[in-house]
Amino acid sequence: MADEKFEVTKRQDFSDSDLLEILNGKSDFEELQNQAVSVRKRVYGNEVFIRGLIEFSNICKNDCLYCGLRASNNKLERYRLSKEEILACCEQGYKAGCRTFVLQSGEDMFYTDDEMCRLIYEIKTQYCDCALTLSVGEKSHGTYKAYFNAGADRYLLRHETASAKHYKTLHPSSMSSENRKRCLFDLKEIGFQVGAGFMVGSPYQTNENIVEDVRFLQELNPAMIGIGPFVAHHATPFADFKNGSVKKTLVLISLLRLLFPYALIPATTALGSLEKEGYIKGVQAGANVLMPNISPFFAREKYAIYDGKIYGQNDASKSIAYLSEKLESVGYTIVVGRGDWPTTNCYTMFNGL
């Protein structure tokens, strides 16, 4: 962000009852959206950042009730990319204009700390003008610190729901909201740009739960916030639950933009999967990040966290060219750059604003 443009944009806050009114659909979405777009334009102009998403393993030790990668789904064909395959994704992504790579996987215990650190170090030395984001689940403080020291810049770990009671309904008893939150605070303390977030319309979620999510996000003050509609997966205990609403997700993106003017907010794959051009609608609601899938084709369809996930038929260059054209047509531009949170001292600088 150029200095001359720099002017701190204050966060808005909403009372619990105002939030509930919005979530109950009692307020004017268009007005909320217009406000969000004007805040987003003031802070980020018409720029959209892209992150090359590499889904490098669908093997997972956990048994989250909503996720198709859950350990007990024995119908899923499992895969794990080799280091060479991952580096080939980076090469393609780099040529296509990505300056951030996101390594995402299930909680695959195959990777020791040393193995992950070697991979991180290799990517960061080969692509030293790129940021590296990890999204590999819950680890110890020591492991996170090792990843950071090896060169990882950012970490995505959705908190899923801030309510301990709701968390229990979505996860096996071996997992807890308390540990998830501990991970997020550890990551932040270590120095990662941290991303949290939740599913919209997950089973048993109430609007009061979403208010708790907002309050938790205000406490954590993350650099990135990822939300997307819950989408049922046929081989999970939640197969028969209704999908989350696209409209409500868009309302929440606008609301989050007003609450966190500087946040990096992606228009997620789940949004694009439930509605054609859902991505574009996400950007028009206030999102400023897109995460094109740059995994090998054979892996994309096996990383099936929910039914109907869009896999993308194109390689990195083609899918980014396509996104770019779509965005240009509605007045937005893809940036070739890391797209960091606007200041290295972001947490302290924006605290309380």
Task: Out of 135, 161, 209, 221, name the contact with ligand SAH by CB under 6 A.
Answer: 135
Taking the complex as a whole, how short is the minimal distance between the CB of residue 319 and ligand SAH, in angstroms?
19
Q: Which of 182, 129, 141, 135 is nearest to 155 (CA)?
A: 135
Calpha distance 211→274 (Å, rounded) = 24
Q: Which is nearer to ligand SAH, 93 or 106 (CB)?
A: 106
Determine phi and psi for 53, rounding to 5 degrees.
Answer: -90, 125
Q: Which of 94, 144, 230, 332 binds ligand SAH (CB under 6 A)?
A: 230
CA atoms of 290 and 142, how far apart (whole Å): 31
Residue 67 near ligand SAH by CB under 6 A: yes
Q: What CA–CA distances, in Å, run from 317 to 44, 277, 280?
A: 24, 18, 18
**134 binds ligand SAH, rule: CB under 6 A:** no
Q: Does 213 help bind ligand SAH (rule: CB under 6 A)? A: no
Q: H or E element: which one contains 258? A: helix 246-259
Q: Tokens 């960061």 appear where?
A: 124
- The reply to whether 104 sits near ligand SAH by the rule CB under 6 A is yes
Please list every residue from 261 through 280 that binds ligand SAH, using CB under 6 A: 270
Among 80, 158, 302, 338, binds ligand SAH (CB under 6 A): 158
- Residue number with CB closer to ligand SAH (167 or 306): 306
Classified as helix, coil or strand, 169 is helix
Q: Which stretch binds ligand SAH (CB under 6 A): 112-120, 184-192, 223-231, 291-299?
A: 223-231
- According to CB under 6 A, which residues from 232 to 251 bind ligand SAH? 233
Residues 202 and 230 sit within 8 Å (Cβ to Cβ): yes
Residue with tokens 């979530």: 23
State the residues that interact with ligand SAH by CB under 6 A: 66-67, 104, 106-107, 135, 137, 157-158, 160, 199, 228, 230-231, 233, 270, 305-306
